């Protein structure tokens, strides 16, 4: 990381290079892996990315697009993380329903599959619910 | 004068006198951290070679002042490209005033023309040497004319991949 200090008598700014810190400056983008579990996430990213139009050299375009993507994802995340507790409760209820059913009757194949999906879903929802440090 | 800036830490230094009012170079290092065994200079370039005492890693520190003249600059990039290529397996740090920016976004001002060819030359140089350019924090430019109008990113650090190797971290300079 190159850190600029304040300019004094010179018209140049003193620069300090830090090699030992894994600090690459502000993060242009953030992503939660669990977003990818949402249907429509990948289409959302594709569409958004294609809709941005930035002029300049390649590196600059990439940086700007990542920044714009970050803003869009932030909104997307807020929309999808709304009423998380309610969503989690629905999954939990469905889960309990199958659990207690399985205590007395064997689940049919579709039910067993749904139960498995529910637990994946629950994990995913819990991860989305955790706070993200933008 | 060095002591006034550097303070009490042990130091060694190497310098190249200026030509007119510009191009003078000085490199100062901490003797207790690095062991310098040679110093050479050519054009407006001052090179020190040595090793980091703690890790034993070999380092080459290249202090550069690039001329504003485009032909002189082209020659300098050519010379430096082959010089850096010969040190490819070492920790190479190239820094200084390159007297040009890499793209239009790295400058602001009136009356100055951005010469794509000159920027291309510089970008090709960075690509050919396989050196890594780092982002800058705290401000966007490194040179300010002082009129509040013209500013540019003339100074930068370029590091060889070896420096960024997590297994061979050399610490801050």
**What's the pLDDT score for residue A30?**
80
> From CA B133, how far away is CA A57, in angstroms rounded?
16
Same domain, A9 and A75: yes
**Of the candidates A64, A80, A96, which is a domain's last residue?**
A80
What's the average model confidence in pLDDT over A69-95? 85
Same domain, A68 and A104: no
Q: CB–CB of B142 and A4 under 8 A?
A: yes
Strands ordered across the beta sheet of B34-42: B34-42, B45-52, B58-65, B91-97, B155-159, B132-133
Name the residue with higher pLDDT: B21 or A36. Answer: A36
> From CA B66, how far away is CA B22, in angstroms rounded?
10
A22 pLDDT exceeds 70?
Answer: no
A131 pLDDT exceeds 70?
Answer: no
In the DSSP assignment, the letter for residue B19 is B
Structurally, how many domains does chain A consist of? 2
**What's the pLDDT score for residue A108?**
85
Supply B123's token pair.
Answer: 């970008």
**What's the pLDDT score for residue B139?**
80
Is A8 in CB contact (< 8 Å) with chain B? Answer: no
CB-closest option in A2, A11, A18 to B144: A11
User: Is residue A9 in a domain?
Assistant: yes
Q: What are the chain A neighbours of B6 within 8 Å (beta carbons)?
A: none
Same domain, A75 and A110: no
Same domain, A22 and A68: yes
Same domain, A42 and A90: no
Is B154 in CB contact (< 8 Å) with chain A? Answer: yes
A132 pLDDT exceeds 80?
Answer: no
Same domain, A67 and A96: no
User: Is residue B28 in a domain?
Assistant: yes
Range of the domain at A115: 84-129
Same domain, A29 and A68: yes
Is B156 in CB contact (< 8 Å) with chain A? Answer: yes
**What's the pLDDT score for residue B168?**
47
Same domain, A60 and A89: no
Is A58 in CB contact (< 8 Å) with chain B? Answer: no
What's the average model confidence in pLDDT over A55-71? 91
User: Could you give the count of Cα atoms lying within 13 Å of B112 in the half-sphere of its Cβ?
Assistant: 15
**Which among B19, B16, B60, B22 has a CA at the least distance from the CA of B42?**
B16
User: How near does any CA of chain A get to the CA of B78, in Å?
Assistant: 24
Q: CB–CB of A19 and B171 under 8 A?
A: yes
Same domain, A110 and A65: no
User: Is residue B157 in a domain?
Assistant: yes
> From CA B171, how far away is CA B59, in angstroms rounded?
12
CB-closest option in A3, A12, A57 to B97: A12
**What's the pLDDT score for residue B158?**
94
Banded model confidence at residue A23, pLDDT cuts 50, 70, 90: low
**What's the pLDDT score for residue A24?**
64
Percent of chain A with pLDDT over 70: 91
Chain B contact probe: residue of A9, A13, A20 with most B CBs at under 10 A: A13
CB-closest option in A2, A12, A60 to B135: A2
CATH code of the domain containing B100:
3.60.10.10
Lowest mean pLDDT among A9-23, A86-100, B11-25: A9-23
> From CA B98, how far away is CA A25, in angstroms rounded?
22
Is B51 in CB contact (< 8 Å) with chain A? Answer: no
User: Is residue A31 in a domain?
Assistant: yes
Nearest CA in chain B to A58: B103
Is B137 in CB contact (< 8 Å) with chain A? Answer: yes
Structurally, how many domains does chain B consist of? 1
**What's the pLDDT score for residue B153?**
92
User: Is residue A44 in a domain?
Assistant: yes
Q: CB–CB of A12 and B142 under 8 A?
A: yes
Same domain, A88 and A56: no
Q: What is the mean pLDDT of each run of 10 residues along chain B (173 residues)?
A: 84 88 88 94 93 92 93 94 91 94 87 86 94 85 82 92 64 44
> From CA B13, how far away is CA B27, in angstroms rounded?
6
> From CA A35, how far away is CA A73, in angstroms rounded?
10
Supply B173's token pair.
Answer: 């300079």
């Amino acid at each position: 990381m190159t850190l600029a200090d304040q300019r004094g008598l010179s018209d140049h700014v003193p620069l300090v290079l830090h090699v030992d810190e894994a600090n690459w400056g502000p993060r242009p983008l953030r992503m939660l892996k669990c977003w990818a579990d949402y249907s429509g996430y990948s289409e959302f990213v594709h569409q958004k990315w294609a809709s941005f139009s930035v002029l300049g050299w390649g590196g600059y375009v990439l940086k700007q697009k990542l920044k714009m993507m970050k803003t869009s994802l932030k909104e997307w995340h807020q929309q999808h993380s709304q009423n998380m507790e309610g969503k989690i409760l629905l999954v939990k209820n469905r889960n309990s329903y199958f659990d207690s059913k399985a205590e007395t009757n064997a689940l049919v194949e579709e039910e067993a599959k749904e139960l498995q999906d529910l637990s994946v879903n629950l994990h995913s929802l819990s991860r989305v619910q955790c706070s993200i440090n933008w | 004068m060095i002591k006034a800036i550097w303070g009490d830490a042990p130091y060694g230094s190497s310098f190249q006198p200026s030509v007119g009012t510009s191009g003078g170079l000085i490199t100062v290092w901490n003797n207790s951290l690095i062991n310098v065994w040679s110093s050479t200079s050519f054009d407006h370039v001052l090179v020190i070679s040595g090793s980091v005492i703690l890790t034993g890693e070999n380092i080459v520190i290249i202090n550069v002042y690039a001329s504003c003249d485009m032909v002189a600059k082209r020659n300098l990039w050519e010379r430096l490209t082959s010089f850096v290529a010969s040190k490819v397996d070492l920790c190479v740090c190239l820094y200084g005033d390159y007297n040009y920016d890499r793209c239009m976004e790295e400058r602001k001002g009136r009356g100055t023309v951005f010469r794509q060819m000159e920027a291309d030359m510089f970008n090709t140089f960075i690509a050919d040497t396989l050196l890594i350019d780092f982002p800058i924090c705290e401000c966007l430019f490194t040179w300010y004319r002082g009129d509040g109008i013209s500013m540019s990113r003339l100074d930068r650090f370029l590091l060889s991949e070896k420096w960024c190797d997590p297994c061979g971290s050399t610490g801050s300079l």
